[in-house]
């Protein structure tokens, strides 16, 4: 039996340092060989880029700028660490989800003993919970936290539920084979009013994004037109990364002139050498579902100009028409994930592990002794000076007395 976790000392949580990159890469390479190959390999690429630009990223994280939170990672290590080679207990990778930084995203949480001792991952006093709580308290801008987790990862789901995350939607990742893309490219792709994208169209994309999702997700995402604009320096960095990764981006939107609104949008991240699968983002107005075949045919035609490779696409459970259409096409279901969120609007203090006492819960309902303050509300006009008092009307008093005596005599 393992020792009770309440006796173990709390780890030291701190921002990532350069000496932590090698242990993190080793952990992620081992994980990439098991189950989460795609997500782990992507994070390994981010670690390799962070190693090249770690000094610049560390300097940019000290003051507000576009790249302040480009690589935001916190690690946990034992407090009684004597030497620098102490093994890390875990890490957490977070990033802002929108431009206003009111919603943050938990990219991944990992601890070193999650497989050998799964109970450590979901324990309320474990390293995973302490990493999440540290981020909740440190990132003061965040009102809502968002994450996406595979439905097969039971221990990770238990960790997130233990820390207050609730499910929002289910995502399905689809894969379209090169043969299927070749068949789609032969179909009709005459899309009217298909326009290139620029920063001037951010308002149109913002309206399309709002109308294409349920109100609860719209509130959690909290996007604004600035989220659909590409700043100049961020665009230069994106072009540089595409050149290094040998990728190319093609995007456009469908404009409805009568309603003066965007009714469809797609974005393709294409691999020039065919070493990686092509990535696609697709957004369609719920009232214009007939755009699905035409936009997919248009994307398939663009893909034909590059080496044959499969195309990956995502659909949500509230997009029934897209899932039905992809099933009819014969697309392959690759992965099912669950989108979860947690609100920290009020920044409530975390509950104690042993539970709350009744006296603490009802402390706000107890009567507080106070000295009564005498006060009276009067609707009459109170004179400020004695001379302002109205003089009594003697005529009225005499007439009143004479009337009373007459009534008494009668």
Q: How much is the pLDDT for 277?
A: 92
Contact (Cβ atoms closer than 8 angstroms) between residue 335 and residue 150: yes
Class of domain 5-164: alpha beta
CA-nearest of 262, 269, 268 to 202 is 262
Q: Which residues of the chain have pLDDT under 70?
A: 1-9, 31-41, 80-86, 113-124, 346-410
**CA-to-CA distance for 247 and 242, rounded, in angstroms?**
5
Q: How much is the pLDDT for 353?
A: 43
The pTM for the full model equals 0.76
Q: How far is the CA of 270 from the CAs of 153, 184, 252, in angstroms?
A: 30, 17, 14
What are the φ/ψ torsions at residue 165 (nearest 5 degrees)? -80, 140
Q: What angle do CA 265, 218, 282 make, to 5 degrees?
A: 20
Establish whether domains 5-164 and 173-340 are of one fold: yes
Domain segments of the chain as ranges: 5-164, 173-340
**CA-to-CA distance for 104 and 240, rounded, in angstroms?**
26
Q: How much is the pLDDT for 196?
A: 92
For 101-120, the pLDDT digits (tens) are 999 999 989 887 544 444 45
Q: How much is the pLDDT for 295?
A: 93
Please spell the DSSP secondary structure of 215-273, one letter per residue.
Answer: HHHHHHH---GGGG---HHHHHHHHHHHHHHTEEEEEEEEEETTTTEEEEEEEEEEESS
Residue 408 DSSP label: H
Q: How much is the pLDDT for 398?
A: 46
For 23, residues 6+ apart whose C-beta sits below 8 A from its C-beta are: 87, 88
Radius of gyration (C-alpha) of the chain in whole angstroms: 33
Q: How far is the CA of 379 from the CAs of 248, 365, 376, 382, in angstroms?
A: 79, 35, 10, 9
Query: For domain 173-340, is the CATH number 3.40.30.10?
Result: no
CA-nearest of 65, 207, 211, 219 to 144 is 219
Q: How much is the pLDDT for 264?
A: 95
């Amino acid at each position: 039996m393992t020792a009770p976790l309440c006796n173990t000392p709390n780890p030291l949580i701190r921002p990532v340092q350069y000496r932590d990159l090698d242990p993190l890469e080793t952990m992620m390479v081992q994980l990439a060989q098991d189950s989460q190959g795609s997500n782990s390999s992507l994070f390994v690429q981010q670690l390799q880029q962070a190693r090249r630009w770690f000094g610049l990223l560390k300097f940019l994280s000290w003051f507000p700028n576009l790249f302040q939170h480009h690589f935001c990672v916190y690690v946990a290590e034992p407090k009684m660490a004597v030497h620098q080679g102490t093994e890390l207990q875990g890490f957490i990778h977070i990033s802002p989800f929108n431009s206003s930084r009111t919603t943050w995203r938990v990219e991944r949480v990992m601890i070193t003993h999650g497989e050998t001792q799964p109970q450590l991952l979901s324990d309320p006093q474990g390293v995973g919970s302490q990493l999440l709580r540290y981020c909740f308290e440190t990132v003061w801008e965040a009102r809502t936290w968002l994450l996406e987790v595979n439905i097969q990862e039971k221990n990770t789901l238990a960790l997130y539920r233990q820390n207050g995350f609730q499910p929002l939607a289910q995502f399905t990742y689809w894969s379209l084979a090169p043969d299927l893309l070749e068949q789609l490219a032969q179909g009709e792709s005459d899309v009217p009013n298909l326009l290139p994208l620029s920063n001037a169209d951010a308002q149109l994309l913002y309206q399309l994004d709002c109308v294409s999702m349920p109100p609860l997700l719209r509130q959690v995402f909290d996007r604004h037109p600035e989220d659909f604009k590409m700043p100049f320096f961020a665009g230069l960095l994106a072009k540089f990364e595409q050149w290094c990764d040998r990728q190319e981006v093609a995007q456009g939107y469908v404009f409805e002139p009568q309603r003066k609104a965007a009714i469809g949008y797609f974005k393709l991240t294409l691999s020039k050498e065919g070493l990686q699968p092509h990535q696609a983002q697709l957004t369609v107005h719920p009232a214009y579902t007939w755009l699905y075949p035409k936009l997919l045919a248009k994307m398939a035609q663009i893909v034909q100009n590059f080496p044959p490779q499969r195309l990956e696409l995502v659909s949500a459970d509230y997009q029934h028409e897209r899932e039905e259409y992809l099933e009819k096409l014969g697309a392959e279901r690759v992965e099912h994930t669950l989108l979860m969120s947690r609100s920290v609007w009020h920044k409530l203090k975390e509950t104690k592990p042993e539970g709350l006492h009744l006296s603490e819960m009802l402390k706000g309902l107890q009567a507080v002794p106070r000295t009564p303050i005498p006060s009276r509300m009067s609707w009459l006009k109170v004179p400020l000076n004695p001379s302002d008092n109205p003089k009594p009307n003697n005529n009225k008093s005499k007439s009143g007395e004479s009337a009373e005596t007459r009534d008494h005599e009668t």
